[in-house]
Amino acid sequence: MSGDAEVALDAGALLAESPVWDGREGVLRWVDILRGEVHRYDPSGGLDTHSAFGEPVGAVALREGGGLLLAVGRGFATVEQDGDALSWLWRDGRGDRMNDGKCDPAGRFWAGTMADERHPGGASLYRLDPDGHVEEALPAVTMSNGLGWSPSGETLYYVDTPLERVDAFDYDLSAGTISRRRTLVDLRAADGRPDGLTVDADGGLWVAMAHGGAVRRYTSGGVLDHVLTLPVPMVTSCTFGGPELADLYITTASEEALHPGAVDRPHAGGIFRAALGVTGMPATPYRG
């Protein structure tokens, strides 16, 4: 496995997150959480455009019927493709704001909130079903973050950042329920803390390490087998994109309050790209 990370877009984002490849248009969707922006980056021409929503946007997902689904503020809303008018579905999440989110292989949207770390357990992980029903799937979370599913859909991988580990759950794809939580990767001794993650077509987990300047790949058995280093400290999330889903796109942050000195690092807050000889899986859209 080889390949270095290059700057795809020198975006200067405060907190870029939630990258998702939109195969409908051949573009990368991503958010700048702190600016409340949803971006559309077209790598074929290098053009990046965005819509602003006036409150933090934690995650973006594709929507089967067209448009996008957002984890925004403390809830969920839909928006027309590249529009800026929210249609609220639900806005009663616990915690300070919505954070990372992603659709399961059946088209349900999972996203969690985050709370002040001085008050652990003040947030939750939620499941939004295609019929609009919202379920609190996992309470007593502090900073709900990266999540992804195994290629079979039978395992959910999950990060609650302050725990400094990646957990695995058995996943019932027909019911959208989780069980048998266990630690897959203990990251307390690693450089940085786990943030977003993605799963490749071979079942490997790519974990973005905030404050650690790297993305680390683990096998489905929890064994570290590759480290991709970046020239910026705040690495926030990643996803596979491109026509063959063979490019790993990596989001980063520049906000000084998140990491002192980050703003002074060239290309902090940029979108990076690396070709590593592995491919990802297509993003499942929300089916509501």
Say if CB 216 and CB 194 are below 8 A apart.
no
Q: Which of 44, 15, 82, 79 is nearest to 271 (CA)?
A: 15
The string of pLDDT tens digits covering residues 263-284 is 678 899 999 999 999 999 999 9
pLDDT of residue 118: 84
Instruction: Please give the biggest Cα pair distance in the chain.
Output: 48
For the chain, domain boundaries = 6-275
pLDDT of residue 3: 78
Q: Which of 226, 270, 266, 267 is nearest to 251 (CA)?
A: 270
Residue with token string 């490849």: 21
The fraction of the chain above a pLDDT of 70, given in percent, is: 98
Cα angle value 221/275/26 (rounded, 5°): 105
pLDDT of residue 263: 63
What's the CA gap between 278 and 138, in Å, rounded?
32
The string of pLDDT tens digits covering residues 182-197 is 999 999 999 999 999 9
Q: Which of 58, 34, 163 is nearest to 109 (CA)?
A: 58
CATH number of the domain at 6-275, out of 3.40.50.300, 2.120.10.30, 2.40.40.20, 3.90.226.10? Answer: 2.120.10.30
Say if CB 123 and CB 114 are below 8 A apart.
yes
**What integer is the mean pLDDT of 247-264?**
83
The per-residue pLDDT of the chain, averaged, comes to 96
Active site residues: 195
Q: Which of 240, 220, 272 is nearest to 9 (CA)?
A: 272
pLDDT surpasses 70 at 262: no
Query: Does this model's pTM top 0.85?
Result: yes
pLDDT surpasses 70 at 2: no
pLDDT of residue 255: 82
